[in-house]
Amino acid sequence: MPDSRMMNKNGMVSNIQTRIRTDSFKSNYDLVGKELGRGKFAVVKKCIEKATGKEHAAKFLRKRRKGEDCRTDIIHEIAVLESAKSNPFVVSLLEVYEDTSEIILVLECAAGGEIFNQCVADNDEAFTEQDVIRLVRQILTGVACLHRNNVVHLDLKPQNILLTSSRPLGDIRIVDFGLSRCMDNVTEVREIVGTPEYVAPEILNFEPISTATDMWSIGVLTYVMLTGESPFLGGDKQETFLNISQVNVDYSQDVFEGVSSLAVDFIKSLLVKNPRKRATAEECLKHHWLSGHTHLHLLSSHLPSLDEPETEQSESEPEPESPASSPELLIMASYTLCSSHSEMKPVRGAFAFDKPFPTHPKIKQGLIC
């Protein structure tokens, strides 16, 4: 658990245990292949550890962004990853290097890529409901561990859930803690952060953030995994925000064709405007859609009980980058524009939450880091 004594009023932690190495990264690792992803302030590359021959992912984070020193943002991300070290479904941090312009995070590397790819895949390659049951249970187990440590992710979406393998379908890893915050029982944290389609109503209303904020995003995420459609996506971001504020959700049989009523009930327990009435991660794990005896054979054999010690897993992938600290908070949008499941096309953009919500320049399709 992050040290609350080293946390500022915005839920950012400034103290880490990991030793930051100042020797040359390239003296210990070889960079191989193409970039795994690139964002505005970071690039992720595959690397091979020279001493062992093991494959990892290296995330190169710029310390200065838009003329401002953002080293503290990176330190916070490291601190959160440290607190999640024993969480089997969170990407593992292996080493940290620093030079004059960048901090380099050496992470586990997941070969399966984002679950987003299968959310928008053709019917033959899309997730089955049985797949979703297993993966959502893993997501909830990982998030429950974070919440017990008073960490909220604040950007749970398909692009930030990776797979250890795609065929056969592997286990999940939660990545990108750049927007995460640490909570306590004293300080209220209010920030407008997240991805437009997945943000909870309290974010838009600038109300206090809580663990329930993540649970709303899991409801949206589950909807997307089961249907291939984004429940609140409008013609523009203002319409998307209005849909979220009014909780305009289509639960019709046309959307949920072939999906069980228990799955719909599960989503309804999360897409609730009042955060106090949303199901918690622990309550979700007890929902009959996930805990019913008919589904037990679908679950990963190594899923820990919430009452049992957590064990480390391996093989995660690079996380996307934390946004720059600036008066205008950048919101990374991942839009799924479609008229049917088979015609879904991923299109991504970046927006700034600011009245009257001016549009940011579009960014290239790909892993946002």
Q: What is the DSSP letter of 346?
A: E
Interacting residues of 34 by C-beta distance below 8 A, sequence separation 6+:
none
The CB density around residue 29, as the number of other CB atoms within 10 Å, is 22
Q: Is 214 a catalytic residue?
A: no
User: Are the beta carbons of 1 and 150 closer than 8 angstroms?
Assistant: yes
Whole-angstrom Cα distance, residue 76 to residue 185?
Answer: 19
Token pair of 35 as six digits? 């970039």
- The active-site residue out of 155, 171, 176, 214 is 155
Cβ neighbour number for residue 315 with a 10 Å cutoff: 20
The residues, ordered by sequence, that sit 6+ positions from 191 with a Cβ below 8 Å of its Cβ are 10, 181, 203, 209, 329
CA dihedral 21, 24, 30, 34 (to 10 degrees): 90
- Which residues in 30-61 are b (16+ Cβ under 10 Å) and which e? eeeeeebbbbbbbbbbbbeeeeeeeebbbbbb
> Hunting for tokens 């019913």 — which residue is that?
292
**Beta-sheet pairing, 20-21 with 93-98:** parallel
3-state percent helix, strand, coil for the chain, nearest multiple of 5:
30, 20, 50
Rounded CA separation 124/45 (Å) = 30
Q: Give kind and range of the element (H or E) at residue 79.
A: helix 71-83
CB atoms within 10 A of CB 344: 20
C-alpha closest to that of 140 among 89, 194, 92: 89
Catalytic residues: 155
